[in-house]
Amino acid sequence: MDATPFKLNIKQKASELGFFYCGFSKAEFLEEEASKLESWLNQNYHGKMSYMSNHFDLRLDPRKLVPGAKSVISLLFNYSPKDRQKDPDAPKISKYAYGEDYHFIIKERLFELFDYTKSLIGDIDGRVFVDSAPVMDKVWAQKSGLGWIGKNTNLIHPREGSFFFIAEMIIDVQFEPDGPIKDYCGTCTKCIDECPTDAILEPYLIDGSKCISYLTIELKDEIIPSEFKDKMDNWAFGCDVCQDVCPWNRFSKPSNESRFQNPKLLNLSKKEWEDLSKEFYDELFKKSAVKRTKYAGLKRNLKFIDFGKNSEM
C-alpha cells in the first residue's frame, strides 16, 4: 500500500516526541556508497573498528536488515547543550555525552513512534535504530532531505547545524520520498583547518584512525600512539572541534531534553578529574555514554592528556 497520506501525521507525532525533523526515503541498495565504503575500508581508515568491516551488505541495503522494507524514515534529535563545562582547564567531554546515554532516551521515543505509525496504517513490520546497527544513518538522513553531509563527514542541517542524533525507522510500507537538499559547505574549510590531528584528509574524507573521538573511545589499546602527543586538545572523551568551528552551528539551539545535561559532570574541576576514583566514576557515569570507554580507558585518556601537555611520561 501507499502510505503517503499518513506522512504528515507521522511527522507531527515525531515532533511531539521531541524529534525536530523527520524525512522519508526509499529503502534500496546504496550503490554510490558501496564503492566509497569499500575504498575507505581498504585504506584502513576505520583503524581497529573491526565492526565497520562486518556486515558490509547489511550496511548498504536496509532490505537485508528488514526483509520487505520499502521505506527509511530518518529522524533528528537535538542535543545541543544549554550549559557547558564550567572549568576551562578541565578535560573535555564531547557534548553528546554531557548527560544520560542517548541510546535509551531516543529508543523510548522511537518505539512510541513506531507504535503510533502501526496504529495509523495497520499491520506493518519494521525495526527502529539509533546508532546501534549497521545502518548508514547520515546517508539516509541526507536522502530524506534532513541536511547534507559536510566536509567533516557530519550531517549538517541549514537551520540547526549538526549537534543532533540521527535515528531511523525502517518499515515495509511505501511512502513518497522526500528529496535531498543542496550541499551548502561552499568554499569553507574551517573543519579541515582546525582538526587537531589532521584526521580530515580532504573534503568529505576522514581517516577515522586519526580522529580524537576514535582515539579516546573506540581504540581499546592500553596506550594511545605517541604520534598524537600534544595534539589531543585536552579531549578526554570524544571531540567536537570540527563541529564547534562549523559556521552552520551558529544556528544550533539548546535542546529541551533535560536528561542530556548532568550538572555534576559540568561542574567538575580539573583537580576533581585528576582525582577521579572508580567509585566516583561509577556514580557519575552510571547512565552515561562515557561508560563505553570504561574506567581504565578514561584514566588512560586523562593520563595521555597530561603526557601531551608536559611532554613527559
Task: Convert 143-180 into a string of H (helix), E (strand) and C (coil).
Answer: HCCCCEECCCCCEEECCCECCEEEEEEEECCECCCCCC
Contacting residues for 40 by C-beta, under 8 A, at least 6 apart: 46, 205
pLDDT at 17: 98
Count of domains observed in the chain: 1
Report pLDDT for 54. 86
Of 219, 286, 263, nearest in space to 98 by CA: 263
Whether residue 309 is contained in a domain is answered as no
Q: What stretch of H or E contains 123? A: none
Residue 312 forms part of a structural domain: no
Instruction: Give the model's pLDDT for residue 308.
Output: 41
Residue 185 DSSP symbol? -
Neighbours of 310 (CB within 10 A): 10
Give the bridge partners for 161, in sequence order: 157
Helix axes 102-121, 7-16, angle to 10 degrees: 150
Residue ranges of the chain whose pLDDT lies below 50: 307-313
Q: What angle do CA 299, 304, 309 make, to 5 degrees?
A: 130
145 Rama sector, left if φ>0, alpha if ψ -120 to 50, beta otherwise: left
Structural domain harbouring 61: 1-304
Look up residue 133 and give its three cell numbers: 546497527
Q: What is the pTM of this model?
A: 0.94
pLDDT digits (tens, 9 = 90+) for 35-46: 999 999 999 999
The verdict on residue 145 lying in a domain is yes
- Three-class SS state of 76: strand
Q: Rounded to whole angstroms, what are the CA distances from 274 to 48, 97, 148, 225, 240?
A: 28, 19, 40, 21, 22
Which amino acid makes up residue 207? D
Instruction: Extract the C-alpha cell encoding 220.
Output: 581499546
Annotated active-site residue in 131, 172, 183, 233: 131
Catalytic site includes residue 131? yes
80: which strand partners? Answer: none
Q: Decide if 310 is inside a domain.
A: no
Percent of the chain that is helix, strand, coil (3-state, to 5): 45, 15, 40
**Which residues in 189-310 belong to E strands, given as ranges?**
200-202, 205-206, 235-237
Q: Is there a domain that residue 218 lies in?
A: yes
For residue 193, count CB atoms less than 10 angstroms from its CB and return exposed for 0-12, middle for 13-18, buried for 19 or more: exposed
Contacts of 55 (CB under 8 A, 6+ apart): 134
pLDDT of residue 133: 87
- At 65, list the grid cell: 536488515
Within a domain: 311: no
